[in-house]
Structure 1
Amino acid sequence: MPDVAIRKMALMLEEIRHEGGPAPQTPLLRAASLAVIANPFAGRYEPDIAGFMEDLKPLGLDMADRLIAALGGDPKRVEGYGKGAIVGQAGELEHGALWHVPGGYAMRERLGDAKAIVPSTKKVGAAGARLDVPITHVDASYVRSHFDAMEVGLNDAPRADEMVLVLVMTTGPRIHERVGGLKASEIEGKDGLR
């Protein structure tokens, strides 16, 4: 498979102090790591693309490490995660799906015992396209307090023959969460759901 050619990387960090209600004791941190890479399959249909997932694994680990560092350096502080991809217009949606395994498993590996499936989204878009990356709790997908999203994008990416790969991590639930459901303190940790 081709080497991963990175044009640029970006890190976004949000510190959310309130959403109109009382300020929490500790602000919520949301961070996104983005990598703009050349799409080796742009401009043509390639039947066998799955091998590129293996090539993307080191990038996924690097991006996960950058997120953990941005959130204070302690993997135990991370409570939510998600991933996504924006494929340039000379590519296809399936090229973004190549990020599922390397992106998800990189975060799980770096976070230790994370059990929940890493939610994901992808789309084909032009330079400047935005993506809402879904977020759930790292150990149990049914924890409603951690259902969230982070909008990401770069003004000059993806170019037609590129992809923007994204990982997102958060340090807690939505600020002012109060819609009930399974609480983080009630997680059984057996199946990634509850």
Structure 2
Amino acid sequence: MPEILLRKRAIIIEEIFHEGGPASPVPLRRGAILSAIRNPFAGRYVEEIAPFMEDLKPLGLEMARALLAALGGNPKIVEGYGKGAIVGAAGELEHGALWHVPGGYAMREILGDAKAIVASTKKLGAPGARLDVPVTHVNASYVRSHFDAMEVGLPDGPKADEIVVVLVMTTGPRIHARVGGLAAKDVKGEDGLR
């Protein structure tokens, strides 16, 4: 499989103090890391693409470590996560699916004991395309307060022959979350759902 050719990386950190109600004593922090890499399958149909996931694993770990460091370095503060990919116009949607395993398992490994599946999305897009990356609780996908998304993108990516791969981590629930459901404090953490 081809080597990973990284053109650009960006880290975005948001701090959310309120959403129109009272200010939270602790702001919600949402962070994303985006990497624009060359798509080795751009412009042609290739039947066997799955082995490229193995090549992407070191990039996933590197990105997860860098994002965690940008959020302060302590895995215990991360309560939500998600991943995504924007594939350039010469690629196909399936090329974005190559990020599922390397991105998801990297965050679960870096965070230690994360149980929930890592929510994901992907799309085709031109340079400047934006992606809403879904976020769920790291140990229980049914924790409604942590259903969130972070909009991300690069102004000059993906180029037609690139994929922009993305990881997102958050430090808590939505500010002012109050729609009920399973509370984070009640998570059993056995099955990744509850």
Q: Match of 2:33, SS? A: strand
User: C-alpha separation between the residues in 2 aligned to 1:5 and 1:132?
Assistant: 25
Could you tell me which amino acid in structure 2 is paired with residue 73 of structure 1? G
Deviation at 1:66, TM superposition (A): 1.0
User: C-alpha separation between the residues in 2 aligned to 1:66 and 1:18?
Assistant: 27
Deviation at 1:25, TM superposition (A): 1.0
Could you tell me which amino acid in structure 2 is paired with residue 110 of structure 1? I
Deviation at 1:139, TM superposition (A): 0.2
Q: TM (normalized to structure 1)?
A: 0.99
User: C-alpha separation between the residues in 2 aligned to 1:159 and 1:133?
Assistant: 20
What is the match of residue 104 of structure 2?
Answer: 104
Q: Match of 2:31, SS? A: strand
Deviation at 1:71, TM superposition (A): 1.0
What is the match of residue 156 of structure 2?
Answer: 156
Alignment map for 1:163-174 (pairs within 5 Å): 163-174=163-174
User: C-alpha separation between the residues in 2 aligned to 1:111 and 1:159?
Assistant: 31
What is the match of residue 178 of structure 1?
Answer: 178
State percent identity of aligned pairs.
Answer: 76
Deviation at 1:67, TM superposition (A): 1.1
Could you tell me which amino acid in structure 1 is paired with residue 109 of structure 2? E
What is the match of residue 117 of structure 2?
Answer: 117
The alignment yields a C-alpha RMSD, in angstroms, of: 0.4
Deviation at 1:87, TM superposition (A): 0.1
User: C-alpha separation between the residues in 2 aligned to 1:124 and 1:184?
Assistant: 34
User: C-alpha separation between the residues in 2 aligned to 1:73 and 1:100?
Assistant: 23
Q: Which structure 1 residue ranges, 4+ long, deviate > 3 Å from structure 2?
A: none
Gaps of 5+ in 1: none
Q: Match of 2:53, SS? A: helix
Deviation at 1:58, TM superposition (A): 0.6
Is 1:24 paired with 2:24? yes
Deviation at 1:95, TM superposition (A): 0.2
